[in-house]
């Protein structure tokens, strides 16, 4: 497979993955481009075409880790907020919704994304890969360069941490239209 095919096939999912980690659409675009530059430069090293997807996402993960390391020394590299028009905000999961349903879905997505962002980077990464990007346990293990059992343990811990955050910060209820509504708990000071 040539580089153009790899880029066309993996660009959107890689950008979505990176945007979910860095929470900034412009930065996500830069890191995505850096990812594909590395893919192009090291494409000759790919031995197993069956694991190409995991290899590309492993590079994206490493590019993000490098960014987070640099950001620790340069706090101005952090930006707040996620562009609501970015692929990470919409997730592309719902088709042909009525405007009201689309608004409710975006609000729920943003609420959940805000809570995912509270997870430490390592737990957020495994949760995004498995639950949002739909990777298998094997693919998550390949991206993170760990054993499958370790990937399963990390996913379990990430979900448990995420559940605790949701229980602490959110009240969930089903409204009169049978729509799941997430309301932030009032701050008790």
29 within some domain: yes
Domain count, the chain: 1
Q: Over the stretch 66-95, which tens digit does the pLDDT of each residue have?
A: 998 887 765 443 343 333 333 333 333 333
Q: Which domain covers residue 93, as residue numbers?
A: 3-184
Among the ranges 4-8, 18-22, 46-50, which has the highest mean pLDDT value? 4-8
107, part of any domain: yes
SS (H, E, C) 143-166: HHCCCHHHHHHHHHHHHHHHHHHH
Tell me, yes or no, whether 28 lies in a domain: yes
Positive/negative CA dihedral, 152, 158, 86, 109? positive
Question: Does residue 169 fall inside a structural domain?
Answer: yes
Lowest mean pLDDT among 21-25, 86-90, 179-183: 86-90
Is 189 inside any structural domain? no
Q: Is residue 160 part of a domain?
A: yes
Q: Would residue 137 count as lying in a domain? A: yes
């Amino acid at each position: 497979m040539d580089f153009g095919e790899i880029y066309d096939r993996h660009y959107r999912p890689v950008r979505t993955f990176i945007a979910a980690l860095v929470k900034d659409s412009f930065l996500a675009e830069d890191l995505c481009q850096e990812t594909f530059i590395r893919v192009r430069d090291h494409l000759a090293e790919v031995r197993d075409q069956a694991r190409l997807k995991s290899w590309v996402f492993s590079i994206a993960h490493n590019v993000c880790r490098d960014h987070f390391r640099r950001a620790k020394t340069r706090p101005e590299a952090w930006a707040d907020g996620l562009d609501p028009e970015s692929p990470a905000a919409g997730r592309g999961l719902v088709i042909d919704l009525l405007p009201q349903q689309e608004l409710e879905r975006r609000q729920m997505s943003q609420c959940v994304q805000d809570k995912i962002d509270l997870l430490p980077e390592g737990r957020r990464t495994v949760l995004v890969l498995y639950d949002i990007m739909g990777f298998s346990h094997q693919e998550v293990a390949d991206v993170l360069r760990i054993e499958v059992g370790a990937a399963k343990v990390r996913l379990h811990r990430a979900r448990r941490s995420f559940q605790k955050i949701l229980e602490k910060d959110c009240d969930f209820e089903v409204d009169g239209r049978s729509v799941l509504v997430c309301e932030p708990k009032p701050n008790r000071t």
